[in-house]
């Protein structure tokens, strides 16, 4: 495809081209899936006329670090691939025309040849680096395979040195001088860094308003229904009661859990009629929040898991069926509201994972009667 033919095409939507590079948000661990194609541009041929791009994915890495970083690449299945790491501080590396990738910007390249071993479920990885970095350095990592597939590579980062502390802007919504203040801070649970999120408050006289940021100040109003909902890209949804004092100032620290395969989240507020697949009416608020979570995190795939409260009963038959029906109901809600069904599966786990195997209160029974989501990719 020529440059003239590319006019009008939004290349930012394809991770196979530099302009659509996936932004690395959390410098711990990520799973990167190959796209199965080379996108709109054969960018490898611009490095060397001996290279032909077949299947690629681009990553943008901005560690804001004065020091060094390493990363380990581990294919989740047995397949060979190459990697190319570039450094560019011009801000124009993925420019509109992308006429060429300058050779001097390529700092590391190699291939990871996987040797199949029947004794190992996963292939071994390769540690790359250390790579020297300054605070303003931006890196681009191109992963390339000579075969068309959509397999996954796990990437783990190790950073050493001094990271730039993100500047925090406190948004002050306090209007009444005579009331106490509620200060809310949103942070990454693993790094402690500020996280920009969407938040809504209930019972604080700012109902039905959406706020965006990491640090906020509000007037303190207390009610039985005080609640906060926090939704941030790359993190689990956070829903919690807000304990507010009108006698002294209240500080609220919310630590968000980064998304990663294998992690689970309970869908808070999703409740069922006893021995029924039917939600109680108030549960549609929780379903709507789950829908917003899926829309905000468009790259994830989940498994919806249904659970029942059935102590002492056999885990099959009606117990298993009821748990599956509850998971399926949540699944159908998401599908009917526009979420691609390829991103969701569902399963009933019966009473095999009750939080309270011998519940003594209604609250414990309700905790057993739940729906969770498991992050698959």
CATH number of domain containing 88:
2.60.120.380
Read off the pLDDT of each residue in 91-95 and give the average, rounded to a whole number: 75
Decide if 208 contacts 227 (C-beta within 8 A): no
> Per this entry, what is the length of the chain?
377
Of the pLDDT bands very low, low, confident and very high (cuts 50, 70, 90), residue 299 is confident
The domain boundary residue, chosen from 113, 141, 163: 163
152 & 188 share domain: no
357 & 333 share domain: yes
Helix (DSSP H) and strand (DSSP E) numbers for the chain: 3, 21
252 & 356 share domain: no
74 & 154 share domain: yes
Nearest to 228 by CA among 280, 279, 186, 284: 186
Total domains in the chain come to 3
Alpha helices in 257-315 (DSSP H): 283-296
46 & 143 share domain: yes
Domain of residue 136, residue span: 4-163
Cβ neighbour number for residue 329 with a 10 Å cutoff: 20
The enclosing domain of 185 has a CATH number of: 2.60.40.1120
220 & 269 share domain: no
Nearest to 125 by CA among 139, 137, 109, 113: 113
Of the pLDDT bands very low, low, confident and very high (cuts 50, 70, 90), residue 154 is confident
95-99, 204-208, 311-315, 319-323: least confidently modelled range? 95-99
Of the pLDDT bands very low, low, confident and very high (cuts 50, 70, 90), residue 9 is very low
pLDDT > 70 fraction of the chain, expressed in percent and rounded? 88
The domain boundary residue, chosen from 256, 282, 317: 256
**pLDDT tens readout for residues 234-258:** 888 888 888 888 889 989 999 998 8
140 & 179 share domain: no
Decide if 71 contacts 155 (C-beta within 8 A): yes
- 9-13, 172-176, 283-287, 315-319 — most confident range: 172-176
pLDDT given for residue 25 in this prediction: 66
174 & 154 share domain: no
Integer Cα distance of 311 and 153 in angstroms: 41
275 & 245 share domain: no
Of the pLDDT bands very low, low, confident and very high (cuts 50, 70, 90), residue 102 is low
Compute the CA torsion angle 122, 124, 129, 133 (nearest 10 deg): 10
pLDDT given for residue 14 in this prediction: 74
- Does pLDDT of 183 surpass 80? yes
The domain boundary residue, chosen from 110, 143, 163: 163
Of the pLDDT bands very low, low, confident and very high (cuts 50, 70, 90), residue 160 is very high
Cβ neighbour number for residue 239 with a 10 Å cutoff: 19
307 & 339 share domain: yes
76-80, 166-170, 269-273: least confidently modelled range? 269-273
* Comparison of pLDDT for 170 and 67, the residue scoring more: 67
31 & 55 share domain: yes
> Is residue 264 left, alpha or beta, with left meaning phi > 0 and alpha meaning psi from -120 to 50?
beta
Cβ neighbour number for residue 117 with a 10 Å cutoff: 11
DSSP assignment of 159-204 equals EEEEEPPPP--EEE----TTS-EEEEEEEETTT--B--EEEEEESS
158 & 224 share domain: no
The reply to whether the predicted model has a pTM over 0.75 is no
């Amino acid at each position: 495809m020529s440059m003239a033919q590319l006019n009008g095409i939004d290349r930012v939507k394809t991770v196979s081209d530099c302009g659509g590079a996936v932004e690395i948000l959390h410098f711990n661990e990520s799973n990167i899936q190959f796209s199965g194609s080379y996108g709109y541009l054969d960018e490898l041929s611009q490095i060397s006329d001996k290279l032909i791009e077949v299947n690629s994915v681009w990553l943008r890495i901005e560690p804001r670090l004065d020091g060094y970083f390493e990363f380990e690449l581990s294919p989740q299945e047995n397949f060979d691939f190459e990697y190319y790491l570039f450094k560019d501080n011009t801000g124009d590396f993925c420019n509109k025309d992308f006429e060429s990738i300058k050779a001097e910007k390529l700092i590391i390249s190699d291939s990871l040849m996987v040797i199949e071993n029947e004794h190992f479920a996963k292939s071994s990885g390769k540690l790359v680096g250390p790579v020297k970095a300054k605070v303003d350095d931006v890196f681009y990592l191109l992963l390339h395979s000579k075969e068309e597939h959509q397999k996954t590579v796990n990437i783990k980062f190790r950073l050493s040195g001094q990271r730039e502390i993100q500047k925090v802007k406190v948004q002050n919504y306090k209007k009444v001088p005579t009331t106490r203040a509620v200060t809310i801070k949103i942070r990454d649970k693993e790094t402690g860094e500020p996280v920009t999120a969407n938040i809504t408050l209930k019972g604080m006289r700012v109902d039905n308003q959406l706020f965006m940021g990491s640090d906020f100040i509000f007037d303190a109003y207390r009610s039985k229904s005080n609640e906060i909902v926090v939704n941030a890209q790359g993190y689990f949804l956070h829903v919690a009661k807000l304990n507010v004092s009108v006698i002294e100032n209240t500080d609220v620290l919310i630590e968000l859990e980064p998304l990663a395969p294998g992690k689970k989240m309970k869908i808070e507020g999703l409740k069922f009629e006893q021995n029924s697949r039917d939600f109680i009416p108030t549960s549609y608020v929780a379903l709507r929040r789950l829908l917003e979570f899926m829309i905000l995190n468009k790259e994830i795939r989940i498994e919806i898991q249904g659970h029942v409260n059935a102590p002492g009963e056999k885990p099959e038959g009606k117990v298993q069926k009821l748990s599956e029906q509850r998971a399926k109901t949540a699944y159908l809600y998401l599908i009917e509201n526009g979420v691609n069904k390829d991103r969701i599966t569902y399963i009933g786990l019966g009473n095999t994972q009750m939080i309270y195997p011998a519940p003594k209160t209604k609250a414990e029974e309700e905790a057993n009667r739940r729906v969770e989501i498991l992050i698959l990719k």
